[in-house]
Amino acid sequence: MSQIEKEEYEKVKAEGDLTISNFKYVDADFPQGILISNASFQFSPQYLNILQLNSIIGKSDFSITGKIENFIPYILANQTIIGDITFNSTYLDIDELMGTEQDDATIDSATSTVDSSNSEPLQIPSNIKFNLNTNISTIIYDGIKITSESGQISINNTIAEIKNLKLKVLDGNVKLQGLFNTQNPYKPFIDINLDVDRLSIVETYNTFDIIKEMVPFAKYCKGIFGLNIDFSSMLDAELSPVLKSVNGKGNVLTKNITLSESKIQGVLADKLKQEKYKTIELKDMKISFEIINGTIKTNPFDFNFSGNTSSVSGSSSLDQSINYVMNIAVPKSNLGNANEFIDGLMSQLPTIGGVKPTLGDKLFFDIVMKGNILNPKISFIPKTSASGASVTDQLKNELTKKKEELKQEIDKAKQEAVKQIEETKQNVTNEVKKEVEETKTEVKKEVKKEAQKNLKKLLNK
């Protein structure tokens, strides 16, 4: 014991091999039991070498190989433990292992008394340095079946890093990598890259509660989608994202997605008197977005609406509030009784500068959607072209144009007046000069004549 007391762990003689076969343990608190079919270890004061460990717990099986170093100083002196482990499984039922099948009332009773404000913050121990490589054929987690999982998790300096994690879920493919940082245990955060390919919107919405909370509009959608997103977020005491701290950017890829039965489409179909507008298709599209402090800004994207190219842009918050503008074009011939609605809407617009709005064969609208995404306030703003301003704005522009034309005419008149004044001044100046010259000439003649006359008088004397 003297070497241990002196913390000279490398001098402790504790070397050997350990082999286990068909070891089984079951008790009342652990009814599923554990079976170690075979295990083989080599150990010394410096390391524990796991040559093989094959085990079954309940429905789950797993095998472990790897090496753990510095475990004695870790246990006795809180030094850093170092490990490199490979974990393989054909079936891993996490729900069973975590006891999620216990009575819901018991869970509710236990959790209802927890005050998260008084709970200790979660921090990954700073004295753990581990690499965990996983390869799992089937995982059951929260009732969800996940297959073909593989990846690596590295733990070091209170940070867990997920590297190249791949899995299949709901017949789609998911790739994930990123960080879970607990260096400040009171402000843990994540920094994640998520790549999703070919997931069903319906199955995703029905399976994941977080989708129902963060993207409630998905309940009106059907089809296949993909997603690539880089995002970061602070985490609260329950390790859920703090919505106002979420930042990131990414793309949504759609594959034959249809939107139907939302309030937005119901109002649109009612106003335009066309049932077909209750369904909108988004085929093979790429929609780019940014998340800034919990607000999702959707960059403008085009889609086909009634055979015409329309567009959508705007923003939504993770608290389910939205502010979107949808630009649509509808052939006037398709409106039928809706023409009365259109005429009434147009008649309410002011006449500016004597200019009246006119419409062609197509009606162009901005549909403004604000408020809660499930119950938005919807307003219609007519336009005279797909890319032009609203009619009111156009009339204002026309008035501005006329003002500019009038100003130019006034400026031109001013210039003409100035020109005429300058010409008059010049003419007057010329006339004055002419009269002065003529007067000077006459004066010279008179002076000369008078001088000659006086000279003659002098000579005659």
Note the pLDDT of residue 340.
67
Neighbours of 220 (CB within 10 A): 19
Residue 143 in any domain: the answer is: yes
- Using CA of residue 234, residue 237, residue 238, residue 242, what is the dihedral sign? negative
Residue 63 in any domain: the answer is: yes
Residue 93 in any domain: the answer is: yes
Highest mean pLDDT among 71-80, 163-172, 235-244, 372-381: 163-172
What would the pLDDT profile of 177-197 be if each residue is shown by its tens digit? 999 999 999 999 999 999 999
What would the pLDDT profile of 60-91 be if each residue is shown by its tens digit? 999 999 999 998 888 888 999 999 999 999 99
Domain total in the chain:
1
Q: Is the pLDDT of residue 306 over 80?
A: no
What is the extent of the structural domain holding 60?
Answer: 1-102+121-167
Neighbours of 62 (CB within 10 A): 17
Q: What are phi and psi of 287, to 5 degrees?
A: -110, 120
Q: Is the pLDDT of residue 48 over 90?
A: yes
**Which has more confidence, 408 or 337?**
408
Residue 50 in any domain: the answer is: yes
Note the pLDDT of residue 277.
80
* DSSP conformation letters of 11-34: G----EEEEEEEEEEEETTEEEEE
Residue 226 in any domain: the answer is: no
Q: What is the dihedral of CA 37, 40, 43, 49, to 10 degrees?
A: -100
Residue 2 in any domain: the answer is: yes
Residue 4 in any domain: the answer is: yes
Residue 55 in any domain: the answer is: yes
pTM for this entry:
0.71
Tell me which residue of 53, 78, 82 sits closest to 70, measured CA to CA. 82
Q: Is the pLDDT of residue 402 over 90?
A: no
